[in-house]
Structure 1
Amino acid sequence: MHLLASQIAAATGGTLHGPDVTVDSASIDSRTAHAGQLFVPIVAARDGHDFIAAAVDAGSTVYLTDREPDPTIAATAVRVPDTAAALADLGRAVRATLPGSVVGVTGSVGKTSTKDLLAGVFATRFRTASSQKSFNNELGLPLTLLGAPDDTEAVILEMGARGVGHIAELCSIASPTVGVLTRVEAVHLEMFGSLDGVARAKGELVESLPSDGLAVLNADHPLVIAMRDRTSARVLTYGLDPTAEVRATDVVLDDQLRASFTLHSPWGSVPVRLGARGEHQVGNALAAAAAGGGVGVPVEQIAAGLLAADLSGLRMELSTTDAGVTIVNDAYNANPTSMAAGLSALARLTAARRFAVLGTMAELGDDGPAAHREVARLATDLGITVIAVDEPAYGDDVTHVSGIDAAVDALGPLGEGDAVLVKGSRVAALERVADALA
């Protein structure tokens, strides 16, 4: 969105210092700053004010600051009391100018994939902007709004939470008209305390919707479908449950783990083929289909958008090495639900031997040890050999190693017909194993 520095000052209650120039987006990272951007220095573990000069050198024409502007920096400054709060205020200001749908998507798992599929569906009919990667917090969400082109007709926003109240805060910025709930699972329990705490936090999205809005709820999950009582918005349900208004039948996977199915909806039925891999993506696709259909996207265009959706990296990326080894790189994140989905997908591959290189599942609280052991048991039941990297909680029946090189060594010689899943929480950065194997 193009904004004048004076408009930025007005939206944030700030003071303008310098020429009234225009910006077209914003950044909080001087390493990615470019010409025409607003730079927002965030005070966290490192003080972003230390990088204002670098951002200006990279092309930023305006910057926020909570202190006296540096006269040696050749850019317009807007002085504000708090830069993070000012970024949120700018997000609100931009949101107020958007004429179309703003879709918020949240849930314990599947947020990013569903966001990508939503963007694919909405883009078949509307000029659509969406969150980059997993820009799903109080910084990433307003950055997405500020980066939306001036002619945007729909915005897809991923919403994460670290506790009760966080999604309500994001909704106060985004004012969503459509809310999509994926699943409520025992994820990040260190932050939420219990499964009910997770549901309470995620449901803040549907509570924020206007009475003429749309809540898209997963009929396969009782804690999600129960949220229909927490919203005044119209409700559409999706899932494999036969009572769901948007549902799938005849689900099959091809040899690349891509699902095909028949989509049934209030607007008609249509065959669908996904570019996303894994049977678990069917539910995410149904969520995107329900949201799209609910705002008027025809079913034929829904099917086209689901196939063409541009998917975020490190999620069920499938490749084959020159030696004929199949690598499933699902290393972006991990929790018990996504681990089970990844292992099930690996088991569906035609392979002589199957290996899973697994890292920690973080932020599970007291349930962590039992959850890791359960994943190891599932792998054994599926005939998968587990190599656990720096995580003893997987138990005694798996191979334990420390470090990436040791994980690759533990796999031993691999050849045609072997398949390897690589998966762990972000802190494990196990994509390095996939890179080494490739």
Structure 2
Amino acid sequence: MALWTAFEAQAATGGYCAAPWEAYGVSIDTRTLQPGDLFVALTAARDGHDFVAQALEKGAAAALVERRPDGVAETAPLLIVPDVLQALIDLGRAARARCAAKVLAVTGSVGKTSTKEMLRTVLEFQGRTHASVASYNNHWGVPLTLARMPADTQFAIFEIGMNHPGEIAPLSEMVQPHVVMITTVAPAHMEAFESLEGIAREKADIVAGLMPGGAAILPADVPTIDILVQAALAKGATIVGFGETADAFRLTALEMHHDVTVIQARLRGAPAVLRLNTLGRHFAVNAMGVLAAVEALSGDPTRAAVDLFRWHPPAGRGRRETVSLDPADTNAYFELIDDAYNANPASMAAALEVLAASDRQEQTRQGPRRIAILGDMLELGQEEAQIHAQLAGNNHLLTLDVVHCVGPRMRACYDALPAAIRGRWVQEAQELASGLGELIAPGDRVLVKGSLGSKVSLIVDLIRNLGHRSQP
């Protein structure tokens, strides 16, 4: 069944198209466009109109444009509108209106994408599920995800993010969720907010579009929980808490082994044991929220608790990989933890806990080393130097064997590190390429963590190139 016909798209956007067409997907990028997609010519870093001809050559069913670009035939299937972004928003709203799915919106300072993917994984076994791709959580990512939603979707999960005040509420109002979830409130994007309380108030705006009778899944352990609760109560939401101090979905204990986190929990008072196929207290806490959300969506949390083990962290967000240095030698390998997509103090502490907990019983002076390569944490405001310096006193970091630092902000951490674990410091990520192979030995466990702008993902790629990788 077609996702959009020319008639439906014209009705939704008020645009004009001279020829009929049917689209089976929606794309904003010719590099990933599939035949049959509607190409949306957004204007961002580059003007999408410059790629309309290429999109049509690659088999696009039609293009959503503000004008007919040069080199495009007058008979080409163009849906012409006054404003492409507004038309995409209109498509998204129309898609939401025609769909009877149970809808969830998730936000938070840390863990939005991994939690969204957890939800996608467990709900796919309970019904037709649609979710945001990657981190499409902003003013164009949310309407694009809506516009891609098939009419027969049963569960829909939307990630909503922000960099500045006032961004979350209009996106929530667009999504109109039945359930909202806040993963946590932590110092992130502090350049745009005066305080942690300001961040909490912005995150609490996720309830702005909540449908009547909806539920709010809230992190019980955060110090700003009262702000979140008051916002949810003002919207008339049913409040469900999760976390280590929650009543409804409580994490009571956990053990982290080589590749598994074993969780002991109380779910609505009943004891339960769950497993995650990865390491991390932060993942375990958010798993409690996922089960609460599944229940609120009228799904089966018992089935979801079992299916959580099927989930793996997305690339750049704590994914573990084994890199083989010599396929002929089963001992010539090391482990890479790719957490290079984003970083703030909370997520950095969580990642260091994972690395510190990895196979402690095997750690000896002659045994495998635990190595951290840490890049700058961005958008922390005036206290960024102090925050980076304080990282050097993290209890989990102090148990590591070597810490390398990348970026001008991370210099403050490097200078404060104990000499015994201080590795290299470089101004830019690519500088670590020189001699990288000498920094890693067989048996090591290597964490790469930093904000996207620190470009430590380049180091992840270089490490992978040292051998042959696979997920453990």
Give me the TM-score of the superposition, normalised by structure 2.
0.87
**What is the match of residue 467 of structure 2?**
none
Change (3 A) 1:307 1:380: closer
The one of 277, 294, 303 equivalent to 1:301 is 303
Q: Which residue of 1 aligns with 2:449?
A: 423
- Residue 270 (structure 1) aligns with: 272
The one-letter amino acid paired with 2:177 is P
Find the counterpart in structure 1 of residue 61 from structure 2: 61
Verify: 1:401 aligned to 2:426, yes or no: yes
1:29 counterpart letter in structure 2: D
Tell whether 2:438 aligns with 1:412. Answer: yes
Partner in structure 1 of residue 48 of structure 2: 48
Shift of 1:404: 4.2
Task: Give the superposition deviation at 1:430.
Answer: 1.9
Residue 393 of structure 1 deviates from its aligned partner by 3.4
Please, which runs of 5 or more residues in structure 1 have no aligned partner?
none
* 1:371 and 2:374 are equivalent in the alignment: no
Q: Deviation at 1:176?
A: 1.0
1:35-86 CA distance string (max 9 Å, x none): 1111111122311111111111111111111124665265311211111111
Kept after mapping to 2: 8 A contact 1:69/1:79: no
Q: Which amino acid aligns with 2:253?
A: D
State the secondary structure of the residue aligned to 1:321.
strand
2:169 and 2:200 map into 1 onto residues whose CA distance is: 13
Equivalent residue for 2:338, pick from 329, 345, 348: 329
Give the 3 Å change call, closer, same or farther, for CA 308–75 of structure 1 in structure 2: farther
In the TM superposition, residue 194 of structure 1 has moved relative to its aligned partner by 2.3
The aligned counterpart of 2:289 is: 287
> Among the aligned pairs, what percent are the same residue?
36
Q: Distance in 2 between matches of 1:222 and 1:377?
A: 22
Q: Which residue of 2 aligns with 1:437?
A: 463
Question: Structure 2 CA distance, aligned partners of 1:299 and 1:380?
Answer: 35
Please identify, of 89-98 and 216-225, the stretch whose mean Cα deviation from structure 2 is larger.
216-225
What are the within-5 Å matches in structure 2 for residues 19-58 of structure 1? 19-58=19-58
Kept in 2, the 8 Å contact 1:346–1:419? The answer is yes
Work out whether residues 352 and 397 of structure 2, in 8 Å CA contact, stay in contact via their aligned partners in 1.
no
TM-score w.r.t. length of structure 1:
0.93
Q: Deviations over 1:16-45 (max 9, x none)?
A: 2x2121112211112211211111111223
SS at match of 1:271: strand
- The match for 1:357 among 355, 359, 373 is 373
Please report how far the alpha carbon of residue 156 of structure 1 lies from its aligned counterpart in structure 2 after TM superposition. 0.5
Deviation string, structure 1 residues 367-417 (Cα, Å, up to 9, x no partner): 211111112232653344221122333342443124445425267353344
Instruction: Tell me the SS of whatever aligns to 1:277.
Output: coil
The aligned runs of 1:136-285 (5 Å cut-off) are: 136-231=137-232, 232-241=236-245, 243-256=246-259, 258-266=260-268, 268-285=270-287
Could you list the per-position Cα deviations for residues 95-146 of structure 1 after superposition, in whole angstroms to 9, with x for gaps in the alignment? 1111121100000001011101111222222211111111111211122222
SS at match of 1:85: helix
Give the ranges of 4+ consecutive aligned residues of structure 1 lying more than 6 Å apart after TM superposition.
Answer: none
Is 1:342 matched with 2:351?
Answer: yes
Report the number of matched residues.
Answer: 435
Q: Distance in 1 between matches of 2:390 and 2:353?
A: 14
Q: Residues 208, 228 of structure 1: CA spacing in aligned structure 2 closer, same or farther, 3 A cutoff?
A: farther
C-alpha distance in structure 2 between counterparts of 1:295 and 1:158, whole Å = 16
Q: Which moved more, 1:107-116 or 1:68-77?
A: 68-77
- State whether residues 293 and 302 of structure 1, in contact with CA within 8 Å, keep that contact through their aligned partners in structure 2: no
Task: State the secondary structure of the residue aligned to 1:45.
Answer: coil
* In structure 2, distance between residues paired with 1:224 and 1:62: 47
In the superposition, relative to structure 1, how do residues 321 and 213 fare at CA in structure 2: closer, same or farther (>3 Å)? same
* Cα distance between partner residues in 1 of 2:33 and 2:322: 36
Q: Letter of the aligned partner of 2:432 in structure 1?
A: A
CA gap 1:401/1:235 in 2 versus in 1, 3 angstroms? same
Worse overlay, 311-320 or 232-241: 311-320
Counterpart CA distance in 2 for 1:25 and 1:286 is 33
The one-letter amino acid of 2:272's match is: V
Deviations along 1:134-171, whole A, 9 cap, x unmatched?
11112111222222334210110100012222111111
Residues 32-111 of structure 1: pairs in structure 2 closer than 5 A = 32-68=32-68, 72=73, 75-111=76-112
How far is 1:325 from its partner?
2.4
Residue of structure 2 equivalent to 1:318:
320
* C-alpha deviation, 1:354, in angstroms: 2.2
Contact 2:63/2:79 (<8 A) preserved: yes
Q: Which amino acid aligns with 2:457?
A: E
Tell whether the 8 Å contact from 1:181 to 1:224 is kept in structure 2 after alignment: no
Label 1:198 to 1:72 Cα distance change in 2 as closer, same or farther (>3 A).
same
Matched, 1:134 2:160: no
Cα root mean square deviation, aligned: 2.1
Paired amino acid for 2:254: V
Question: Does the CA-based 8 Å contact 1:61-1:75 persist in structure 2?
Answer: no
| Cross-structure match for 2:402 | 385
Query: Helix, strand or coil for the counterpart of 1:138?
Result: coil
Cα deviation, residue 2, structure 1: 1.3
Residues 1:344 and 1:244: Cα distance change in structure 2 (over 3 Å) = same
